[in-house]
């Protein structure tokens, strides 16, 4: 039996959802046109007026927004309300080098926290739970979002923030944390650190984890589930649209339900900007249907995924998105071939390695090079040169069949790759330094 935070809307009929989306979109477009000159100009250039938007079907008439618009309009150019009505600022972690500042009214904060509360209840959270929030607090949205969601559910909230692994473990064990919220890479590190201290997975009271903010593979999910003895759920979001909780996984663990009473999702072809039918792989685009302070319309996320409206056994009716493969900016083009870091992670974990790796791309003599550094797991460790070479060759063969191009694999000593407390930095692209 599923747990819902807002059952009525989470399980509303498709007709009801569309009715809500129609009503909110018409109102929102009128509001943005009146209040945000930057977007009004884009609409005028495209020759579209608020009265042209009568239902959600008309959304394709609206212009897109992208990260470069956010930069151009920085900091206040996309504000949808007077600054006096805003109560909060959050900012992106700058993974792709461009920081974005987003604003929230109290209504926006409530809406966002409710989305996070839906996510917590979807993994079985109740007021009996102890929720350890090990996402960073501060400008980053991870900590604030899950913290607020946990309060709304009425759980006992442990505002740990990221890092200080010793204290995380002590509080987790002493206070009996039952739900852990963190980046998947930090969750993996906590699992590893617990084992090093002699704890077995059944020694902790955790039952579930809510992990997101960075791409992670199914293999990584299984590895975390094993090391912590929990079920690991995905959560997705981005600062521009609010933060974590834009979409979240239910007990089915088959895609994340998008909170589409607030955020309308489309998938487009990133080159032609054509809207693609359900089931196609493409770039995810969001329209904030009722946010006040930062009401982005048709915002291009650069995240690549697939949408499905197939019925979900949890009872939720909201559209689901697949795990994003990574952003279009994360995709590496190596010797003309598209490579996602997640493909490399899949190979490594399938071969029994831990998710401690780093990818280095460079260009030597006009040819791209791909080097993968991965730690020897302690139990597999060997200093015999022939053993090392054999293992490297096996990984290289598996990489070639997954990626279609060759990679040079380097096994390195246990504990030599830096552990991440927030979003992991998996790729160093030295080509960018030369260009
Ligand atoms: P930054 O762009 O600095 O990383 P954010 O902290 O707002 O800023 O991160 C949002 C981005 O993080 C998303 O656009 C997406 O690329 C990534 N992301 C968030 N959650 C997930 C997830 N569950 N799986 C994969 N990627 C995710
Ligand atoms: Zn579901």
Q: Are 76 and 83 in contact (CB under 8 A)?
A: yes
Q: Are 102 and 239 in contact (CB under 8 A)?
A: yes
* Token representation of residue 66: 């992208």
Name the residue at shortest CA distance from atom 9 of ligand 1: 238
Looking at CATH, the fold of the domain delimited by 332-434 is given as: GMP Synthetase; Chain A, domain 3 (3.30.300)
Looking at CATH, the fold of the domain delimited by 1-330 is given as: Rossmann fold (3.40.50)
The Cα–Cα gap between 411 and 392 comes to: 7
* For the CA of 324, the nearest atom of ligand 1: 25
- Virtual CA dihedral for 99, 100, 101, 106, nearest 10 degrees? -130
Pocket test residue of 238, 239, 240, 325 for ligand 1, highest count of atoms within 8 A of CB: 238
* For the CA of 95, the nearest atom of ligand 1: 3
Q: What is the pLDDT of residue 98?
A: 62
pLDDT tens-digit profile, the chain (435 residues): 579 999 999 999 999 999 999 999 999 999 999 999 999 999 999 999 999 999 999 999 999 999 999 989 999 999 999 999 999 999 986 666 567 899 999 999 999 999 999 999 999 999 999 999 999 999 999 999 999 999 999 999 999 999 999 999 999 999 999 999 999 999 999 999 999 999 999 999 999 999 999 999 999 999 999 999 999 999 999 999 999 999 999 999 999 999 999 999 999 999 999 999 999 999 999 999 999 999 999 999 999 999 999 999 999 999 999 999 777 777 899 998 989 999 999 999 999 999 999 999 999 988 999 999 999 888 888 888 888 999 999 999 999 999 999 999 999 999 999 999 999 989 999 987 665
The Cα–Cα gap between 149 and 163 comes to: 21
Residue whose token pair is 């206040």: 76
β-bridge partners, 370: 361
- Phi, then psi, of 148 in degrees rounded to 5: -65, -40
Ligand 1 in reach of 183 Cβ (< 6 A): no
Nearest to 157 by CA among 176, 181, 130: 130
* Token representation of residue 177: 């944390």
Domain ranges of the chain: 1-330, 332-434
The Cα–Cα gap between 258 and 333 comes to: 30
The Cα–Cα gap between 270 and 303 comes to: 10
* Token representation of residue 189: 């590190």
Ligand 1 in reach of 264 Cβ (< 6 A): no
The Cα–Cα gap between 46 and 40 comes to: 10
What's the 213 CA to ligand 1 centre distance in angstroms? 4
* Token representation of residue 184: 């998947």
What's the 236 CA to ligand 1 centre distance in angstroms? 7
Question: 78-115: buried (b, 16+ CB within 10 Å) or exposed (e) per residue?
Answer: bbbbeeebbeeebebbebeeeebbbbbbeebbebbbbb
Residue whose token pair is 């150019």: 77
Q: What is the pLDDT of residue 1?
A: 57
Neighbours of 154 (CB within 10 A): 13
| Angle, CA of 430, 431 and 432, to the nearest 5° | 90
Residue whose token pair is 């604003």: 103
Tell me the angle at which helices 14-35 and 37-46 cross, rounded to the nearest 10 degrees: 110
Task: Classify residue 170 as exposed, middle or buried by CB count within 10 Å of its CB (0-12, 13-18, 19+).
Answer: exposed
């Amino acid at each position: 039996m599923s747990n819902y935070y807002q059952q009525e809307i989470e399980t509303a009929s498709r007709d009801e959802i569309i009715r809500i989306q129609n009503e909110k979109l018409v109102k929102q477009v009128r509001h943005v046109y009146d209040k945000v000159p930057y977007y009004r100009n884009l609409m005028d250039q495209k020759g579209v007026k608020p009265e042209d938007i009568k239902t959600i079907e008309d959304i394709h008439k609206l212009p897109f927004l992208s990260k470069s618009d956010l930069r151009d309009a920085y900091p206040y150019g996309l504000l949808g309300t007077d600054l006096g009505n805003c109560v909060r600022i959050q900012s992106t972690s700058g993974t792709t080098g461009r920081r974005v500042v987003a604003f929230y009214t109290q209504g926006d904060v409530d809406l966002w926290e409710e989305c996070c509360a839906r996510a917590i209840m979807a993994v079985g959270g109740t007021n009996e739970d102890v929720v350890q929030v090990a996402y960073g607090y501060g400008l980053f949205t991870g900590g604030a979002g899950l913290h607020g969601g946990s309060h709304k559910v009425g759980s006992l909230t442990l505002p740990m923030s990221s890092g200080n692994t010793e204290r995380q473990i002590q509080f987790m064990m002493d206070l009996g944390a039952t739900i852990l919220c963190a980046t998947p890479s930090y969750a993996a590190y906590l699992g590893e650190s617990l084992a090093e201290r002699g704890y077995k997975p059944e020694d902790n009271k955790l039952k579930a984890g809510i992990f997101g903010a960075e791409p992670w593979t199914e293999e990584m999910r299984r590895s975390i589930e094993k090391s912590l003895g929990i079920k690991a759920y995905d959560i997705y979001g981005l600062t521009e649209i609010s933060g974590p909780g834009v979409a979240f996984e239910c007990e089915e663990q088959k895609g994340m339900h998008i909170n589409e009473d607030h955020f309308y999702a489309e998938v487009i072809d990133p080159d032609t900007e054509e809207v693609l039918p359900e089931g196609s792989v493409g770039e995810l685009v969001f329209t904030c249907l009722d946010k006040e302070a930062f009401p982005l319309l048709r915002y291009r996320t650069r995240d690549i995924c697939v949408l499905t409206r197939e019925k979900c056994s949890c009872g939720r009716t909201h559209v689901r998105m697949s795990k994003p493969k990574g952003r279009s900016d994360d995709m590496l083009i190596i010797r003309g071939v598209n490579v996602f870091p997640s493909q490399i992670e899949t190979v490594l974990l399938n071969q029994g390695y831990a998710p401690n790796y780093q990818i280095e791309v460079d260009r030597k003599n006009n040819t791209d090079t791909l080097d993968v550094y991965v730690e020897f797991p302690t139990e597999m460790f060997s200093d015999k040169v022939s053993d090392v070479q054999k293992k490297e060759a096996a990984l290289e063969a598996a990489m070639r069949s997954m990626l279609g191009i060759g990679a040079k694999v380097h096994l390195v000593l246990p504990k030599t790759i830096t552990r991440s407390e927030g979003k992991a930095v998996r790729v160093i692209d030295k080509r960018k330094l030369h260009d």
